[in-house]
Structure 1
């Protein structure tokens, strides 16, 4: 009888995860308290705690943040998950890192002490009488970054990590994308680092006199984020760029991880994908979605997966028994309810996509065969690409101000003919472009778009490069991923008028270019906002020429995903252009080349590594997992 119940419950859990899930059936009232955690150097970190009803002890999920976790354990966007954890008998504790909120200490952006502090916090939690010795770290954005920095330290009590939309490395992801100063990010963090400060009055009125005394000592004029970031412009300018978080450091994480990235993340980007690839595959599950920074917590489907993951590992579950698909790609996530149109499943992480190359042709088209003749295309720099005046002209500032008209002469567009079949791209891409200019340096932006049959083009992804930062890390670079050194000694000005090859990284993305559509790349200047990202570009006007031909093979090198198991979620299919989360559409300013482009046949899917043979495999494995499938 019990076996039958488990099977039925397991089937509904799977269907709920993939097809949608209902809200919780009851709301448990947690017991709230607060206090201070003493660190080994004497610093006291403010915490806030929610305990489930009952006697305990309980496992705990840590939300460790620079915003307001010490005053609210759900912090900015963890409430929808945190409430469900309380129902599962899991405590939620929020901790404000040093120099923020009501915590003691001095703020220094991306301080190398944050990770070791987090490890001390984990071990302090494990020693409390209300905790059973098991702790997970979780959160969105800032708490996700700190969860990973803590996990790198390998505190013994840590059991799992749930990082949603983190960064993977500081310099390339947010501080200097492509070697260009990210002015908006640094400026905004100057203010956001003090989000918890207004709560000091409230906390003082509630009887916490420590909070009011800690805040005046938190600020050091030497560590104003925007000023400090502007003074360290190279990857070797400051040790934090390599030692705070990096793909190499991810390899130290030894606990199960459910990672998540948003391809069009307008704040931290999607490059954490590369770092997640360094994790132990037997302990890693990944979800990649289209959309904006942090909106994943609006999805009931993702919350169900997140709660199941934390519940499993905080109650003693083993990795081999958590049988969710290793990789889920959500496509067509809608602005209406933040749920996808299609979920693509793979049983392996990481994937190794098949590498394909599209070559620029003298007629401005992109095709799979190398060009037989040469030509030059030019644009004026820096005419604005359609990415300016975000807050004024576009209601949603994450939409990259993509709806502005494309100014003629401000970019070079390279476009495939209409595709004869769907083309699923996955991961990073490299635009290997040959340029010349009378200037000694220019900043380049590459925009990848899908030109649809209705004449509108949908935003897919972007990448950037300051030409003087073109030196490559030969060890880390691959045909699809150019990794630039960004070291001061490697900076090299352009020779005016000389034709120079550059490799521009396009951030990781998963997108299906549908049959009947075309793929297009723009080469332009990064003038204006890409959502939250305003780069401080080289402002000197000039002309930039893009060269194509047998000796100057400008080309797009990208990955094609293996065949997945595709689960349709929406009966009405993909959402309309204006309903797709963070992938806006605009009228196409350029025609599509005549004819059709025959997409090459895919290589052997087994060698590509990772497509599930059938959904039955998922069902069979899931039905073996009693604790995850049913509430005991």
Structure 2
């Protein structure tokens, strides 16, 4: 696509992969230094406009931009990281629990790819080049077998060792990025997860920064509405010209979305920046846009439910959004969520991580038939078996309630074992009798300590430090705070808010959770509520957001399965 837009593209094999030399390690400092060198080398080529280069890419190709940009290459004009993480830990060990689904399978694939190219490992295309006589590629395989064992590294770093983990956490260094930045992520990204928005408040090194967030899957960072703004940014800050979409790119957009998403008939919407008469006008118009853009109800903005089109959008100066209010709903008797703490009582469920399927999705993670990126994925979002969860639902909302940001669920629990893994699922029970998934949160109860000085009421940050790990006290209730991952969702008037507390698993399409602790199996869990104990849900509610569209179709919202409410 970049070539269709008129850009020369330089693709680089990461150190220790493909035909490159060296040995691979996950985002080791040498990769950032390599990126610095590549930027400066490319910028000095005679065909490079203005002697400056930009960076573009999705997922690893987006995350790597954050690492490279933090080294501040003088010739780097701008970066456009898409579908990225804020911290390796929030994808690999959400709440301190190993993600044995996407994260671990990704690591296994990298271990295989980093081997010397051969019939039993490495990347097949590199072996093909060697067989065709590429002696440089052959010579560069020498150190590949010295690659770091990512699986062993993962196992050795269950706890957050700052010396190891901080260099792998963009949230700790994006403040060093000075280049203009365009970043886009999804709250419900099935691969990298929904914690990317935490980066916004830490991007303090550049005044030229724009962020787009939406519900959706891993590829939705290049949906039509986001694509336009991404293209405008590249034209203004890399090419330094008035954005004018080439006819070939505009004509080819439908074919690209059909190939990637399996969704026909997609076109790029009209773009006000491209309609400006000259470069200066376009630049001024772009810079006048608010930094944070939220696309709501992605999938409900066209006549085809699930197509990558938002129902509406709103823009804000920053995130957390000024004026955000912490609104609480309290766990109450009879599975209710109330506006105030109720009478004392307890709810019990059997913690059992084996009773639900390891995944809520069958099909492929692409745009082929039944694929997760298509308009109507084959989700299987199944209710928890009776007795294996505690659920709570609010009264119907009297008005549209917009939630943007992270939240938390405070629980007072007691268990029959010293440690349990918890998952909280938050959803919208709609007035039409259906239920829409919104977000999850996770916590290993022994890692319940909060990092001092780094936590807020709405966004608790777990310390995950080995020294602070502690078993649940026997025979008494203990407060644990389950951090919810980010969301940008409008709970419509007449809908009800619902949370379900259970063992992890079954609600995310690609993430899975293994439990290898000695206490694995089943356990009894009690949740105390009311009577002076404030077990509650706390959400960042943004008042004054005008909602011009009705309840989305079910199914229809991308990355958010919808089912008949099981009651």
TM-score category, normalised to shorter length: 0.7 to 0.9
**Corresponding residue of 2:177:** 253
* Corresponding position: 1:156 with 2:94: no
Match for residue 217 of structure 2 among 281, 284, 292: 292
Q: What CA distance in whole angstroms lies between the structure 2 residues aligned with 1:289 and 1:367?
A: 29
Match for residue 15 of structure 2 among 98, 102, 105: 98
3-state SS of paired residue (1:582): coil
Match for residue 336 of structure 2 among 355, 365, 386: 365
Match for residue 356 of structure 1 among 327, 330, 352: 327
Q: What CA distance in whole angstroms lies between the structure 2 residues aligned with 1:552 and 1:565?
A: 35
**Corresponding residue of 2:433:** 455
C-alpha contact (below 8 Å) 1:359/1:366 kept by paired residues: yes
3-state SS of paired residue (1:357): strand
- Unpaired runs of 5+ residues, structure 1, are 1-78, 591-632
**Corresponding residue of 2:298:** 333
3-state SS of paired residue (2:152): helix
- Unpaired runs of 5+ residues, structure 2, are 114-121, 242-279, 300-304, 365-369
Q: What CA distance in whole angstroms lies between the structure 1 residues aligned with 2:548 and 2:395?
A: 29
Q: What CA distance in whole angstroms lies between the structure 1 residues aligned with 2:534 and 2:329?
A: 10
Per-residue CA shift, 1:502-535, capped at 9, x if unaligned?
Answer: 0110001100000111000111100457222112
3-state SS of paired residue (2:9): strand
3-state SS of paired residue (1:586): strand
**Corresponding residue of 1:263:** 187
Structure with greater proportional strand content: 1
Residue 369 of structure 1 deviates from its aligned partner by: 2.0
Match for residue 133 of structure 1 among 26, 37, 51: 51
Q: What CA distance in whole angstroms lies between the structure 1 residues aligned with 2:356 and 2:551?
A: 25
**Corresponding residue of 2:199:** 275
C-alpha contact (below 8 Å) 2:66/2:170 kept by paired residues: no
**Corresponding residue of 2:125:** 199
Are the structure 2 counterparts of residues 483 and 359 from structure 1 closer, same or farther at C-alpha, using a change threshold of 3 Å?
same
Are the structure 2 counterparts of residues 417 and 488 from structure 1 closer, same or farther at C-alpha, using a change threshold of 3 Å?
same
Are the structure 2 counterparts of residues 400 and 214 from structure 1 closer, same or farther at C-alpha, using a change threshold of 3 Å?
farther
C-alpha contact (below 8 Å) 1:423/1:560 kept by paired residues: yes
Per-residue CA shift, 1:207-230, capped at 9, x if unaligned?
Answer: 633223323531336x23223211
Per-residue CA shift, 1:392-411, capped at 9, x if unaligned?
Answer: 48944587955224311111
Residue 332 of structure 1 deviates from its aligned partner by: 1.8
* Corresponding position: 1:441 with 2:441: no
Alignment of 1:501-512 (within 5 A): 501-512=479-490
Q: What CA distance in whole angstroms lies between the structure 1 residues aligned with 2:128 and 2:548?
A: 48
* Corresponding position: 1:519 with 2:497: yes
**Corresponding residue of 1:584:** 561
Are the structure 2 counterparts of residues 212 and 578 from structure 1 closer, same or farther at C-alpha, using a change threshold of 3 Å?
farther
Match for residue 563 of structure 1 among 537, 544, 563: 544
C-alpha contact (below 8 Å) 1:181/1:536 kept by paired residues: yes
**Corresponding residue of 1:85:** 5
Match for residue 541 of structure 1 among 506, 522, 531: 522
Q: What CA distance in whole angstroms lies between the structure 2 residues aligned with 1:166 and 1:387?
A: 27
* Corresponding position: 1:167 with 2:85: yes
Match for residue 153 of structure 2 among 202, 216, 228: 228
Residue 386 of structure 1 deviates from its aligned partner by: 5.2
**Corresponding residue of 2:261:** none
Are the structure 2 counterparts of residues 216 and 294 from structure 1 closer, same or farther at C-alpha, using a change threshold of 3 Å?
farther
C-alpha contact (below 8 Å) 2:361/2:510 kept by paired residues: no
Residue 391 of structure 1 deviates from its aligned partner by: 5.3
Instruction: Give the count of matched residue pairs.
Output: 498
Residue 151 of structure 1 deviates from its aligned partner by: 0.9
Are the structure 2 counterparts of residues 130 and 488 from structure 1 closer, same or farther at C-alpha, using a change threshold of 3 Å?
same
Q: What CA distance in whole angstroms lies between the structure 1 residues aligned with 2:545 and 2:68?
A: 34
What TM-score results when the alignment is normalised by the length of structure 1?
0.74
Are the structure 2 counterparts of residues 575 and 529 from structure 1 closer, same or farther at C-alpha, using a change threshold of 3 Å?
closer
Residue 566 of structure 1 deviates from its aligned partner by: 6.2
Are the structure 2 counterparts of residues 292 and 432 from structure 1 closer, same or farther at C-alpha, using a change threshold of 3 Å?
same
Q: What CA distance in whole angstroms lies between the structure 2 residues aligned with 1:519 and 1:474?
A: 30
Are the structure 2 counterparts of residues 534 and 575 from structure 1 closer, same or farther at C-alpha, using a change threshold of 3 Å?
same
C-alpha contact (below 8 Å) 2:555/2:563 kept by paired residues: no
C-alpha contact (below 8 Å) 1:111/1:240 kept by paired residues: no
3-state SS of paired residue (1:419): coil
C-alpha contact (below 8 Å) 1:400/1:530 kept by paired residues: no
Q: What CA distance in whole angstroms lies between the structure 2 residues aligned with 1:374 and 1:216?
A: 67
* Corresponding position: 1:551 with 2:543: no
C-alpha contact (below 8 Å) 1:119/1:153 kept by paired residues: yes
Are the structure 2 counterparts of residues 384 and 511 from structure 1 closer, same or farther at C-alpha, using a change threshold of 3 Å?
farther
**Corresponding residue of 1:323:** 288
Are the structure 2 counterparts of residues 459 and 439 from structure 1 closer, same or farther at C-alpha, using a change threshold of 3 Å?
same
Residue 93 of structure 1 deviates from its aligned partner by: 1.4
Per-residue CA shift, 1:595-631, capped at 9, x if unaligned?
Answer: xxxxxxxxxxxxxxxxxxxxxxxxxxxxxxxxxxxxx
Residue 580 of structure 1 deviates from its aligned partner by: 1.7
* Corresponding position: 1:187 with 2:101: no
C-alpha contact (below 8 Å) 2:400/2:547 kept by paired residues: no
Are the structure 2 counterparts of residues 262 and 147 from structure 1 closer, same or farther at C-alpha, using a change threshold of 3 Å?
same
Are the structure 2 counterparts of residues 305 and 589 from structure 1 closer, same or farther at C-alpha, using a change threshold of 3 Å?
same
Aligned-residue Cα RMSD (Å) equals 2.5
